[in-house]
Amino acid sequence: MLVRPYALALIACLVQGTAARAEMLSQIKLSDPRADFVRLCAPHMLGRWAHPESVCGCLHDYAAAVVEDNDLRMALLRGISETGVPMIEDDWVPASKRSQIGATFTKVAKPTLQCMFEPLN
């Protein structure tokens, strides 16, 4: 007779635990990389631009989007989010791609200037 209440309590705990884990995993999966980038970038733009979130969103959507290589693009986004300006540290990209950093800046120059001085808003 005592087994039944304990079994029900155990099942209830497992169900609640599973629901809590599922909720936690869904929150992790729903993380928005663009929103995270804008949140990290915007404080560096305060005082420089009237609409820091617009500038950061534009940099994410247009300037970084022209970089085809994922390693270089991620390094560029890291530089912008940490400093507010496009930069890539050598240590952020594989050694085999470091020679492409200069060309990457050439690619992002025009969209970066457009984002900073003509944001879409």
For each of the chain's 121 residues, which pLDDT tens digit applies?
A: 555 655 555 455 555 655 555 565 555 556 899 999 999 999 999 998 889 999 999 999 999 999 999 999 999 999 999 999 999 999 999 999 999 999 999 999 999 999 988 766 5
Per-residue confidence (pLDDT) for residue 10, from 0 to 100: 47
- Name the residue type at position 29: K
Range of the domain at 70: 33-117
Per-residue confidence (pLDDT) for residue 121, from 0 to 100: 53
Q: Answer yes or no: do 2 and 47 share one domain.
A: no
Q: Answer yes or no: do 25 and 43 share one domain.
A: no
Q: Answer yes or no: do 60 and 18 share one domain.
A: no
* pTM for the whole structure: 0.72
Q: Answer yes or no: do 105 and 85 share one domain.
A: yes
Helix (H, G, I), strand (E, B) or coil at 101: helix
Q: Answer yes or no: do 99 and 48 share one domain.
A: yes
Cα torsion angle, 9, 10, 13, 14, sign = negative
Per-residue confidence (pLDDT) for residue 118, from 0 to 100: 79
CA–CA distance, 17 with 31 (Å, rounded to integer): 22
Alpha-carbon distances, residue 24 vs 10, 16, 27, 42, 44 (angstroms):
21, 12, 5, 27, 30
